[in-house]
Amino acid sequence: MNAQLASHEFWKDRLDVPNYAVGEAARYASVAAATVGRWHKNTTLGGRESGAKLSYLQLIELAMVAAWKKEGMKLADIRVARAYYSAKFDTPHPFATLRLKTDGIDLAMDAGAELLIGNKRGQLAWKSMIGQRFKEFEYEDGLVSRWRAAGVTSPVIIDPRVRFGAPHVQGVPTWLLKERWEAGEPLDEIAEDLSVTEKNLKAALVFEGIDPRKTRQNEWVH
């Protein structure tokens, strides 16, 4: 095999491929589907055709903006920061490819011993002024490579290198676990068959909006 081909990271070729339906992405980010369209339209997020699916990078940016909003940031400041970082670092997806953090007022990135505040167009501040970046997002090669979509303690992960970016636990898509549960299969058998722990299986079901303690009429009886 050609050495250059062997070293190529093909998963990076999929980062811009539309893969997540709007409703699906909205659920992962815990926002309304209408909010996704509004944020794209008012440039809080990058451009996207109405109704089009989101790519992995767009999904991460959506998750970032949703998280910053929960921290108290204003959309106007997020838009200013986006325009600044996108122009300064020549990237169409600054929120997915730069290590950013917020204290609920300003949006900043590491700049040596200081932080570069995007919504103040590059004004520098000491790091002690800004809280630590969100631990749900893990970085590799200059971009968010893993997102713990259900929180930092949850085993549910979205990683473009695994299952084409579908949410998963231990490499098994959460949608597949949901399907098996809805088919009536016992939790222990699903876990054994797909080689996941029951704890992670239950976490995946909760992520999919299912209460694993619920009694199912079609549950298999042995």
- In this predicted model, what pLDDT tens digit does every residue of 22-77 receive, in sequence order? 999 999 999 999 999 999 998 888 888 888 999 999 999 999 889 888 877 788 88
Residue 18 shares a structural domain with residue 70: yes
Is this structure's pTM higher than 0.75? yes
The pLDDT of 104-124, averaged and rounded, is 55
> Is residue 114 domain-resident?
no
Q: Which CATH number belongs to the domain containing residue 18 in this structure?
A: 1.10.1660.10
Q: Is residue 108 part of a domain?
A: no
- 87 and 154, same domain (yes or no): no
pLDDT digits (tens, 9 = 90+) for 116-166: 566 666 554 434 434 444 678 888 877 889 999 998 889 999 999 999 999
Are residues 87 and 4 part of one domain? yes
pLDDT of residue 140: 83
The tokens for 79 are: 């838009």
Residue 134: inside a domain, yes or no? no
**Is residue 187 one of the residues assigned to a domain?**
yes
Q: Are residues 90 and 2 in the same domain?
A: yes
pLDDT reported for residue 129: 38
The pLDDT of residue 127 is: 43
Residues 147, 88 share a domain: no
Residue 151 resides in a domain: yes
Query: Do both 150 and 85 map to the same domain?
Result: no
Q: Is residue 110 part of a domain?
A: no
pLDDT score of 213 = 87
Q: How far are the Cα atoms of 30, 38, 168 from residue 83, in angstroms, in the given order? A: 24, 17, 33
Residue 126 inside a domain? The answer is no
Separation CA 115–CA 127 (nearest Å): 6
- Confidence (pLDDT) at 101: 62
The SS3 call for residue 69 is helix
Q: What is the pLDDT of residue 51?
A: 83
Burial class (CB in 10 A: 0-12, 13-18, 19+), 94: buried
For residue 155, the one-letter residue type is: P
Q: The domain that contains 211 carries what CATH number?
A: 1.10.10
- 72 belongs to a structural domain: yes
Q: Which residues form the domain of 221?
A: 141-222
Contacts of 102 (CB under 8 A, 6+ apart): 68, 71, 73, 108, 130, 131
Residues 70, 149: one domain?
A: no
d(CA 150, CA 63): 11
Residues 34 and 90 occupy one common structural domain? yes
Give the model confidence (pLDDT) of 191-219 as tens digits: 999 999 999 999 999 999 999 888 888 87
Q: Is the pLDDT of residue 6 over 50?
A: no
Clarify whether residues 91 and 150 are in a common domain: no
CA angle 217, 218, 219 (to 5 degrees): 95
Number of folded domains in the chain? 2
